Amino acid sequence: MINKSYDEKTHYYGKLWIWTAAIVFVFVPISICVYYNAWPPFTSVLKGLLGVAPIFWTVGAIEVITFTPMLGTGGSYLAFVTGNLTNLKVPCAINAMEINNVKPDTEEGEVVSTIAVATSSIVTTLIIAIGTLLLGTLTPILNSPVLKPAFDNILPALFGALGVVYISKNLKLAVTPMLFMVVLFVTVPSLAGSVGILVPVGAVISILMARLLYKKNII
């Protein structure tokens, strides 16, 4: 179990940072409104929000429940500020714990996951910053049609390698959610846009299956 006092302190610092971050986030639109004296009509913000908030608030809440157990305390407080969880922070933390042979929710797992998320956040921020500053030079390269297929396929490239490790280790557990998702996406391709919603669906199916197999002593 994680050392109480260190973990308590992580919660304390984490809360301090995350609430400050929330203030910093809100400071951005406020500063724009004040500086340009351009407060948008409340109704237009509300209308814009209505188009995205129902889905993104739900996905956000689900992501908190699904990913915090994998990321640990420090990793969670940081990853939910720096973002890009499914395509970067969660695979990065899980991969780092796998390499170090440690499990989430242990002292070592907490350290490794936080280091992975923090490093990944720093590198991402730096790459975006350098990229933004060198945009003139980089735009033609990044937008070149030759490279396009590489970035179009970044998720299959990531989840193929990550998937084979976890599926081969937990074959019995993985079969049902995998089959369900493949059949679902082949039948209803338009769901690809709402994959965020389907992550918890996959998690619930996977947990129910795990429970069943565990009770029957199959795993």
Partner 1 sequence: MNFNPNSSFLYLVAAFVILFILVQSLFFLIRAYRRGKEIGMDAKKLRKTITSSAIFTIAPAISILLGVLTLSKFLGLPLPWIRLSVIGAITYELPAATSTASALGVSLSETITSPTVYSAIAWVMTLGILPSTILVPILLKRIQGGLVSIKSKDSKWGELLITAMFLGMISAFMGMVFSNIRKGLPGWIPIFVMLFSAVLMAVCGLFIRVLKVKWLQDYALPICMIGAMVFAIIITPAIL
163 binds partner 1 (CB under 8 A): yes
Least distance CB 216 / partner 1 (angstroms): 13
Closest residue by Cα to residue 59 from 89, 88, 80, 29: 80
Q: Which residues inside 43-62 make contact with partner 1, applying CB under 8 A?
A: 44-45, 47-53, 56-57, 59-61
165 binds partner 1 (CB under 8 A): yes
Give the Cβ contact number of residue 32 at 10 Å.
Answer: 12
Q: Which residues inside 10-29 make contact with partner 1, applying CB under 8 A?
A: 10-11, 13-15, 17-22, 24-26, 28-29
Q: Which letter does DSSP use for residue 103 in this model? A: -
Alpha carbon separation from 146 to 85, 142, 152, 156, 185 (Å, rounded): 28, 9, 11, 18, 28
182 binds partner 1 (CB under 8 A): yes
CA distance 88 to 158: 9
CA distance 193 to 56: 12
Q: Which residues inside 99-138 make contact with partner 1, applying CB under 8 A?
A: 99-100, 103-105, 107-108, 110-112, 114-129, 131-132, 135, 138
- Would you say 41 or 216 has its CB closer to partner 1? 41
- Would you say 51 or 216 has its CB closer to partner 1? 51
